[in-house]
Amino acid sequence: MNYLKTSIQALLGNLGLEVRRKQGREKTKFETLLEQYQVDMVFDIGANIGQYGPWFRWIGFDKTIVSFEPISHLFEQLRQNAKSDPKWLVEQVALGEKEGSGVINVSGGHGGASSLLTMTEHVVKHAPDQAVIRQEEISVTTIEKMMKKYYPEGDRLFLKIDAQGYERNVIEGIGSELQRVIGLKVEMSLVENYRGEVL
């Protein structure tokens, strides 16, 4: 084994390369960004069942996370997933440009394609398991209102937005609080998956 290791190191050395044992986990670019800008709260918008919560913890973010998910059965799973973390809060609500109510199209699969917008034929054709299976009436509020509730002071809020074509509406709901948002991560599509979405 040592002979093999020595041979590999010699070969790579001739190429100007070096092999070293990895010391623990390397920081991700996202982790470095959160540290550099001293983010002290994350809004996880469009949380589904909370896949991002453990990921934020894994990269070392130990401040408060507030996850928003409007669909009832997904929210119940989200609540279960977050209950052991006192700094992971959850809200059963959608975020948009104004307060009110709406009807969300609930998709199949894990509900990840659910949207307040109408799905295009492109999704149905290329991901039939994500087709709409039912609709659900939901509550809608704004980032501005949720900031006043959870983040009344400070200017280091980070937004993670996964709203299936509704991202522009969500961002418009920041209102007068924009200067207190330090950054955002938005999932966007290069093709029209929902009618009226901004590409």
Specify whether the CB–CB gap between 77 and 50 falls below 8 A: yes
Q: Which two tokens stand for residue 134?
A: 């039912």
Residue 23 has pLDDT above 80, yes or no: no
Give me the residue spans of the domains in the chain.
Answer: 26-97+141-186
Residue 22 has pLDDT above 60, yes or no: no
Confidence (pTM) = 0.84
- In a 3-state reduction of DSSP, which class is residue 49? coil
What was the pLDDT predicted at 188? Answer: 78
Q: How far apart are CA 175 and CA 154, in angstroms?
A: 16
Domain 26-97+141-186 = CATH 1.10.150.570: no
Interval 121-149: pLDDT, tens: 888 888 888 889 999 999 999 999 999 99
Tell me how far the alpha carbon of residue 51 is from its chain's centroid. 8
What was the pLDDT predicted at 8? Answer: 63
Interval 170-199: pLDDT, tens: 999 999 999 999 999 998 778 888 888 876
Q: How far apart are CA 118 and CA 104, in angstroms?
A: 9
What was the pLDDT predicted at 127? Answer: 87
Nearest to 56 by CA among 28, 18, 91, 23: 28
Residue 18 has pLDDT above 80, yes or no: no
Q: How many Cα neighbours within 13 Å face the side chain of 146?
A: 31
Interval 39-63: pLDDT, tens: 999 999 999 999 999 999 999 999 9
